[in-house]
Each structure stands twice: as C-alpha cells, then as structure tokens.
Structure 1
Amino acid sequence: MSTVTTAGHLIVRQLERSGVKRVYSVPGESFLDVLDGLHDSPITNVVARHEGGAGFMALAEGRLTDLPGIAMVTRGPGAANAFIAVHTAWQDATPLILFIGLIPVADRGRESFQEFDINAWFGSTAKKVLTLEDAASAARVVDDAIHTALSGRPGPVVIGLPEDVLVHEITTATVPPRPLPVQHAPEAAVEDLITKLSAAQKPLIIVGGEGWTDKSSDALASWSLQHSIPVAADFRAYDAVPHDSGSYVGFLGYSRGDYLAAAVEDADLLVFLGCVRSDVLSDGYQLGLGVETIVAGPDPDIVGHFGRVDLQINAGVDALVGQLTGRSLDAGRETTWLSGLRAAYELFNTPSADGGLGVDLSLAMAELKGILEPDTVITYGAGNHSVWAARYLRHNSADSLAAPRNGAMGMGIPAAVAASLIFPGRRVVSVAGDGCFMMNGQEIATAIGFGATFIAVVVDNGCFATIREHQEAHYPDRPSGTQLTNPDFAAWARSFGGHGERVERTEDFRDAFTRAAASGLPAVVHVITDPSTRAPKSSEEPV
C-alpha cells in the first residue's frame, strides 16, 4: 500500500526491506531527509568520525555478511574522503553502496558550493554510478544498486542524492528485492573439471573472493583432503578454508612462502576457485603461466585474470563447491604432493625468534595464536605489521578476515568497529601498524559510542616500514620521508574511555593482552618493536 512520503524516507524503507541492519555515515546537510528517515528506523546509523572510516566500516560489512555495506556521506569533500573505500571495494571485489548527497539540481554547472562531477570521479572505480533524478524512482534505484553490487563480480555502486529531490513528496511504495541469480555450473563443465582433477598428479586449488560460508569452506577442505589435493588461498582471502584442515597449505601474494611459489610452478593443474591469477597472487604476472588453468567463479569476464585459461566455469562459489564435493575423483595420485606442502606450511607457520629490541612480534603472535578462539575476526590495514598476522594467526571460520586486498592503509580500526557490531559474540582483533592506526584511529570514538569492543595490537616501530624497506633496497643508507612521531597509543585509547596497555618486552605481551580482553572495552595494546625488523625470520626448508 502506497502512502505519502519523501524520496529520502523511501530510500530508508527500501534498505529496511532489503535486510540492511546498519549504515555507516558522516552526516551532511545534503542528505538531511535520509537522516530523518533513519531516525525512526530499525536500521542503526553508525556515525563515524571521518568519511574514510565510514567507508571502510561499510566495506567490512560487505566482506563479512551477505549484503553490501552501506555508507552515506555528503558532497564534494565528503565524497573525496570516501573515495578510498570505493577503490578498495572495486579492486577487492567487495559489495559496497556509497550514498552521496549532492547539490540541488538547479545549482548544477555553476561551480556551486561543494559541487563535483560524480560520474567523472567514480565512473572508472565503481560497477555503476547512479543519480536519483526522479523521486518516485528511489526504491527502484536502491534495489538496482543492491542487485548490481552483489551480482557477478561483486563491487561498489555509487548513488548520488540531490538534496532537493530527496524532499519531494511521492506516493511510491518499496519494491520487492530482486532475487540474485543462482549460479550453478553446467554439468558438462563439472564433468570436465572432475576429469582434469582426476588426471592431474599435482593439482593445486587456489581459493579466494567473496561468498564463502562455513559450510562451503569445510566441505571443500574435507573433500580436497580426501582426494589429496592441496588448497592455497589468494592474498588476504585467508579465511576461505579452515587452516587446521590438512588440505590447507598457505597463502599466495605478498609475504607468501617460497615453498608455495615453487608449488605453483611445479603443479600440473591450477584451479582458481572464486579468484583469478592476478598481479599480487602471481608475483607480478610471473607464477604458473605455463600450467594448465581452470578459472571458476561468479564473474563471466574474469576481471583481473592474466594468462592461460583452459576451462572457465561461471558459477557461484557456494553452488560450485556443492556440485564438486558431491562427486568422487578417479585418481591414484601420490599423497606426498599434499603431505609435503602441508609440512612446509606448518614449518612456515611456526614462529621463531626474530631478535632485536623491544617486543619480538613472531613470539607475540605465537602467544596470540594460542589465546584466540577459532572464530576470532581479524582485521588489519596495510604495512609490514600485517605480515606477522597473515603468517602466524590462523583462520578456522569463514567471514573472519577483513583486510584490504588493494593495500589501502587505515582500514584495520574501522573494520574492527564494524566486525564487532556485526558479530557481538565473537572476539575481534585488529593488528595495526603505527602509521596505519593513525589514519583512522579516531574511530575508537565510534566504538565507544556504539558499544563495539575489539582489541587493537598497535605495532610501533616509528616508521613507514614497508617504504623504508624499499628504500633500503634501492637507496641504501638514504632513508627519507618515512620517519614517524607517535603518541602514547595506550593513553590515546584511555582518553576515549577505552583500555590501554603499553608493552616493551615480549614476556609482558600475553598478560597485557589478557587484561585488555578482560576489560570489555575497545582496547589498545601498544607494542614497541625494533625499527630495523622488517619481516619474520624465514623458517623454510626445501620441500
């Protein structure tokens, strides 16, 4: 039944009908009517302190749930600040919808206050850019955006909201959410996949992307173990299969083990499931280019894939895993292919002392690995600090990692806020570098305001270590522009009403983390580390 309403209020009603539970925003006068619609809505409006923080919170929502994350910001400067989340969602293939308030229609083209060209800004970095020109179309536009963000290769959609159009009175009702296509693979394609896997002596499945559930993750891991097929993960898709499964052999991309790169080259069949052979995964378009390759996933265009494709299967991850694991392989391959890679992974995943001053991160991560529950959600941004978390912390639950695959700094803390709100019963830990933390560390205020709890382990080495590492390689003894002046991060957390701990010795880390966890507050464990330590010491041996 239609009632008189406004476009702004109808947008909120359509989000409600679509199952949205939270939006992340920084308020602006350009979308006041949407904010008013949220006043009486069951949707929680999580008010962030910066548009980049709001965007990253929405990105984490899209990564960890089955709906796009929703962010709302104002025109011009607000849109510019939120751009980082759109770029991350595009490169990460994560569903996100960014609503941007716009100037009144009559003011266009006059260089009016905070005017910008929404299509020029976002046209190459979003799946679709829409502007609400007709108030009566508000519900349809929102539904179209959600469908686009989730369909095929997931990604961001941007919706412009002219402030005068939002207040137009209309009698249009919400629309039924459009169902997503169920992407089952053709039986002939599944047969071909089974035949190729059966014939291969050294197959390797590489998993990634969105759409994994505990059911599909566990099913693929068990089926692969049964058939002695190793499973590796794409960069920052480490939660696609459980690490405690005997079929999991580690991750590719930055900081991957040499043993796994060698395995990609040595394999006689590569199956990319939910991901593609991208730049980062392939060490800059180098690994596995001559190996027989199957690409299976929801994207018919396989955006970002480089090199050979012998079979492409267009199907959703969940559906294809169900089809695949319901079949048996006719294979007599040696079990040593899997067992050797699994042993190499276990060795690579075993911390040894890094040495140096302050807290030894390898040993601290070993302590943390022993403390955390199997379903702990881990977040981080970009920087050398993430190497220790990626290498030593294990994921045994789907939807347990929110980190930027495009290497955007500043995501870890906003993602932790969102993860805590999404999963209030699960532990959330963010491993943050000092540079990364300071980009959006103010979102601790958002956590305090909305009851989110997480523990941030802030790694303080006093520099932008990743860039310093490159300088040491290319411009030795000439560090420039990479030093940092840091606050007392523990005091920072306490100033917002959270809990803070400062740790200068490895042996004090466990107790400090335990106190932070027991506080029940957003907490920071400020860890002082050696500025000359760039990565964990290698513990690899030849496979």
Structure 2
Amino acid sequence: MTSAGHLIVRQLEAHGVPRIYTVPGESFLDVLDGLHDSPIETVVCRHEGGAGFMALAESRLTGTPGIAMVTRGPGAANAMIAVHTAWQDATALVLFVGLVPVGDRGRDAFQEFSLEGWFSTTAKRVLVLEDELRAAEVVADAMRIASAGRPGPVIVGLPEDVLVRTASAGTVPPRQQSAADPGAPAMQEFTERLSAAGRPLMIVGGDGWAARDSHELARWAAAARIPVAGDWRAYDAVSHQSPAFAGWLGYGRADTLAQRLDEADLLVYVGCARTDVPSDGYTRGMETPTVLVLPDPEASGHAGRIDQHIAVQPASFAAALPDPDAVSGERDRTWVKALAADQQRFCAPRVPDIQKDAGTGVDLAAAFALLDQRLPQDRVVTYGAGNATIWGHRYLAHSGPGTLVGPRNGAMGLAVPAAVAASLVHPSRCVVAVCGDGDFLMNAQELAVAAAHGAAPLVIVVDNGIYGTIVAHQQKHYPGRPSGTAIPNPDFAGWIANFGGHGERVEKTSEFGPALDRAMESGRLALIHLVVDPKLMPPEASNSEQTASAGGPA
C-alpha cells in the first residue's frame, strides 16, 4: 500500500525518468515526499517558466518527455510559456500541476483556477487524477500521449487530497509504441516522385532524431543528389558538414535558399511540417508538389499542398530509403552542389573590421565566427529569441541531432534554463547559451540552479540596450519614433560572480578571443557580456559574394 503521490513517483521511475524540474508547492507535497527516496533527481528551479523550459530542453535533447511540476494558480500561470512553446514546437512535455482539494472546487478557493479552461487549447490532453487507484495509469497515459503522433504537452492535474489517499494499485508497464513501417507501396510511390524531379529539396526538422538515422538520411540524400535544408531552429537534424546541407529556412535564412525553395519542383518534409516561419508567412512553396514524412496522421500544423503523406517517424523512413540510384533520375550534381555552395558562402567567417574597435562595440559576425572555430564540435547551443540569435544561427555549425535547443515559437527566456538542463543531461559536453540582453534577464535567475548542481554552461549575452526585434519593426513601420523598447542594463559580468562564476565584459572585437579563452579555461559557470552598438541589426540575408566578404553588423 502506498499513497497516490508516491505511486506517481514510482511510475515515473518505471518510465526511466532521470530528473524532474520543479518549483515546489504545498499542493503536491506528497509527490515531493515520494521523490525524497527516489533515484529521480529533483532539480529545484527559481521560476515555473524556467522549470518548464528546462523540461522542454530535456525532451529536445533526449527524445523522451521532459517532466515539470508546479503548483496551482500562479505557478501554473508561470509555466504556461513552456506549454505554449512545447505546443507550437511539437515537443513532448508532461506538466504536473497541483490543484485544490476536490471538496474546495467551485468555491473560489485559494489559488483555484480551471485547469481545462487554461490549457485545453494549448495541450494535447488535460488529465486530472480523480481516483487514487489510477495514479500510475494516468502517468502512463500522459507519457504515451505526449510522445504519440505529433508530440506535445500533456497537463496532469493533481488534487491535493487525492494525492494523500492510499492506493492499493501498483505501477503499470510503460506503454510501448511500435514504429510504423512506411510499406513498399508508399516507398515505391516516393521513389517514382523523386526520380521524376529535377530540383527536389528536402526539409528536415522536429524532435526525436537519432544520430544513426540522421547520418543515414544525409548520406543517402547526398548520393541521391538531393539538397537538405533545416527547419527553423531545428536545423541540427543533420550535420552541417554533409555535402547535401543547404542551410535553414526561417528568420535570418539566406535569400538564395528562399529563391531555391521557389525553384524546387518537389519538396520532401521529414519530421516537420510546412509552417508559417519557414514558408515566409505562407508565401513560399505552398503549391509545390509535396511529400510529407510525419507520424501525425492529421498532419497538424502543415499548410499547403500534400501529394503524399508517409505517416512514420524519421527513423522508420531512414531505414526504408530506396537505392539512391533509383531516385536520382536524370539529375546530375549541379543542383545539390549549388545549394551547398550557397550556404558555405553565407556562413563563411569574415575578417574583423578594425574600425569596430573605434567605439561602436563588438563585431558580432567576427565574434561568432571565432566562437564556431574554438568550441568543440559536439557542443550544445541553446537560444532564446530576438535579433541577437541570428548571428549564432548563421555562424555556429552543428554536428548532428541533439545539439540545438531554441524556441521555434519565438518565446524569450529559453536560452539560460535550456543551457542549465543541457549541462545536466550532458555534463561532459560544452554547452553555450546565446542570449540578447532582454532575453537573458527573463530567466537569468536559473543560473543559480546551474551553480547549485555544479553545471558550467557558457552564457553569451549580446547587450544593445534595446529590444532589437521590436526596434527593427518600429524602424520599418514608425520610423524615427522609438517607443517602449529601451532597456538599460547592469554589468552582467560582475553579476555572474554572485554565483561563483567567471564573468568578462567585452566592448571591442579584439577583446573577445582572449575573453573566450579565459572563460573556457576557467572550468566554471561563465558569462561573456558583449557590448554592441544599439544601431546594430542582423546582417543581410543575402549571401552574395559581396555580402559574404563585407557583410555583418554596420
């Protein structure tokens, strides 16, 4: 016999959950008590939004649902940002929310709210534990639903009084999901479509990629003379060293890739759908013949034409790929080489402009190119949102799956908690958070969690003293009338010392290399505060020879 709260913990153990992220609340004390003797690591966070983001990052990096636990009312409200991110990004997440006792429902009890009303439009399912005997079953359902089809968030409500009731039931076996096979007829149709295409383009993305599947797909695409582009903030699905890699679609992408998207006569989406951002606001590729490889039978979120839907995971698709010679048709290597060359020019490092040291701040193109050279190849990079991330996207290459965590829905504040989680998941790997100044201070408090657990990510803070993305829109629509976008900042390098970290403030391009070396050699939690000109905007998206050699911040 055990309590329902303890049974929930035992069921999470049965699923192999390594850690949970939480801000504790009195509404789920019995679950916290069950965690006391559990091998599951309890990561105590400083804000529910940070806890949710850490769980999301864990899911993105491991391919299994991340787990967060928060209390009712205000705690659930704070966690909503992570739920929305998981919903739009199609990332498996299970959020446990403490609730008022059953007898107090509907009486405006302390911190009472409607779980279904708040989360039903941004979650795959909202479950409430009404019967203590079903505690293990509810957890198993949540874990399965979060991962099935199109991954996403599942919310589990835990009434305070139900948790402490004695449950005679035990754990249940985790519900295994068998991988569907695409089948010979579907792959034969796919082969015929590809062999007839003169300019096919494959777009890869989404979560759950394994290294072997990524490698096999990239190898096959190169042999079949098919360029491979990445989805927005999911472009680590294949190695950037692949001869077929053509860059990414979405904000900051190369203009030439957008033009190639227009020229393509067949689009093959693998693990992701055609959505708003990579289609430039539903304006590109909408009517191009399209093959969709996506396990979600409803193709949720996909916009535009679908000529063939292969409802399988990328792993099953990669295992069933036909002989590359059977799909190459009459294509030579001109098309795939052209797109690869476009991307190589676009992300080519550039020589620092000495004039940048004359008081206009750090040359970010040069700084991020240097960062790419000096970081280990297997580094994990986490991003928040905003203009500051565009230099990282352009100049930081990825070695394969599980090396990138960023909000595809544009949520600010993800970079720091994601970096903390990544450092816990991969304690021996280099983890780098790329933040704007506004993004950084939304969840900078979670660096206290890193310090408490001995995690040592490197945090790059780009400080231009403004909300740069909004300023860019104001300059376009309301020129000469800045409003509500200035953000004076503290000395971030000095602030990190409060957590026992290593901090450096960099105001000139020439200072960045030595500062980076010292930060990496410190072996500690580190932060580099890059001061840049507030007039700085991301480099032009064009990747012409002229821009490649002289582009970057002005």
CA–CA separation in structure 2 for the residues paired with 1:510 and 1:70: 38
1:414 is aligned to 417
1:348 is aligned to 346
2:238/2:399 contact within 8 Å kept? yes
Distance 1:325 1:374, change over 3 A: farther
1:291, CA displacement in angstroms?
1.4
Distance 1:346 1:163, change over 3 A: same
1:351, CA displacement in angstroms?
3.5
1:321, CA displacement in angstroms?
1.1
CA–CA separation in structure 2 for the residues paired with 1:326 and 1:107: 63
286, 289, 292: which is aligned to 1:292? 289
Give 3-state SS (helix, strand or coil) of 1:329's partner. helix
Q: Which residue identity is paired with 2:330?
A: G
CA–CA separation in structure 1 for the residues paired with 2:278 and 2:62: 24
CA–CA separation in structure 1 for the residues paired with 2:108 and 2:323: 60
**Is 1:83 matched with 2:86?**
no
125, 146, 155: which is aligned to 1:158? 155
2:502 is aligned to 499
Q: Which residue identity is paired with 2:336?
A: L
**Is 1:510 matched with 2:513?**
yes
CA–CA separation in structure 2 for the residues paired with 1:261 and 1:309: 20
1:327, CA displacement in angstroms?
5.6
1:243/1:394 contact within 8 Å kept? yes
2:406 is aligned to 403
CA–CA separation in structure 2 for the residues paired with 1:328 and 1:152: 31
CA–CA separation in structure 2 for the residues paired with 1:480 and 1:385: 20
Give 3-state SS (helix, strand or coil) of 1:249's partner. strand
2:267/2:290 contact within 8 Å kept? yes
1:94 is aligned to 91
Q: Which residue identity is paired with 1:23?
A: I
- TM-score of the aligned structures, taking structure 2 as reference length: 0.96
How does 1:130-169 map onto structure 2 within 5 Å?
Answer: 130-169=127-166
334, 337, 346: which is aligned to 1:336? 334
Q: Which residue identity is paired with 2:344?
A: E
Structure 1 portions without partners, runs of 5+:
none
2:28 is aligned to 31
Distance 1:254 1:126, change over 3 A: same
1:233 is aligned to 230
CA–CA separation in structure 2 for the residues paired with 1:487 and 1:267: 48
1:128, CA displacement in angstroms?
0.3
How does 1:215-254 map onto structure 2 within 5 Å?
Answer: 215-254=212-251
% same residue: 55
CA–CA separation in structure 1 for the residues paired with 2:150 and 2:458: 32
2:256 is aligned to 259
2:375 is aligned to 372
211, 214, 217: which is aligned to 2:211? 214
CA–CA separation in structure 2 for the residues paired with 1:368 and 1:214: 24
2:63/2:209 contact within 8 Å kept? no
Q: Which residue identity is paired with 1:47?
A: V
2:390 is aligned to 387
1:433/1:459 contact within 8 Å kept? yes
1:436 is aligned to 439
1:151/1:181 contact within 8 Å kept? no
1:63 is aligned to 60
1:210, CA displacement in angstroms?
1.3
2:448 is aligned to 445
CA–CA separation in structure 2 for the residues paired with 1:325 and 1:243: 23
1:329, CA displacement in angstroms?
2.1
1:365/1:389 contact within 8 Å kept? yes
How does 1:181-192 map onto structure 2 within 5 Å?
Answer: 181-192=178-189
**Residue-pair matches, total:** 540
Distance 1:538 1:149, change over 3 A: closer
Q: Which residue identity is paired with 1:175?
A: V
Q: Which residue identity is paired with 2:194?
A: L
CA–CA separation in structure 1 for the residues paired with 2:427 and 2:272: 29
**Is 1:485 matched with 2:482?**
no
CA–CA separation in structure 2 for the residues paired with 1:542 and 1:294: 33
1:376, CA displacement in angstroms?
0.5
Q: Which residue identity is paired with 1:225?
A: A
1:462 is aligned to 465
Structure 2 portions without partners, runs of 5+:
547-554
1:538, CA displacement in angstroms?
5.2
| Cα displacement string for residues 479-516 of structure 1 (whole angstroms, at most 9, x for unaligned residues) | 00000011110111101111111111111111111211
1:67, CA displacement in angstroms?
1.1
Give 3-state SS (helix, strand or coil) of 1:272's partner. strand
| Cα displacement string for residues 462-485 of structure 1 (whole angstroms, at most 9, x for unaligned residues) | 000000000000000000000001
1:541 is aligned to 544
Q: Which residue identity is paired with 1:160?
A: G
1:350/1:539 contact within 8 Å kept? no
1:221/1:231 contact within 8 Å kept? yes
| Cα displacement string for residues 22-65 of structure 1 (whole angstroms, at most 9, x for unaligned residues) | 10000000000000000010000000000000000000011111
Give 3-state SS (helix, strand or coil) of 2:280's partner. coil
Q: CA RMSD in A?
A: 1.3
CA–CA separation in structure 2 for the residues paired with 1:123 and 1:537: 40
525, 532, 539: which is aligned to 2:535? 532
Distance 1:7 1:473, change over 3 A: same
| Cα displacement string for residues 274-318 of structure 1 (whole angstroms, at most 9, x for unaligned residues) | 111111110000101231111111111111111111111100111
1:136, CA displacement in angstroms?
0.8
CA–CA separation in structure 1 for the residues paired with 2:146 and 2:253: 30
1:537, CA displacement in angstroms?
4.4
1:254, CA displacement in angstroms?
1.0
1:51 is aligned to 48
1:66, CA displacement in angstroms?
2.2
CA–CA separation in structure 1 for the residues paired with 2:395 and 2:194: 30
Give 3-state SS (helix, strand or coil) of 1:295's partner. strand
CA–CA separation in structure 2 for the residues paired with 1:326 and 1:225: 12
1:259/1:542 contact within 8 Å kept? no
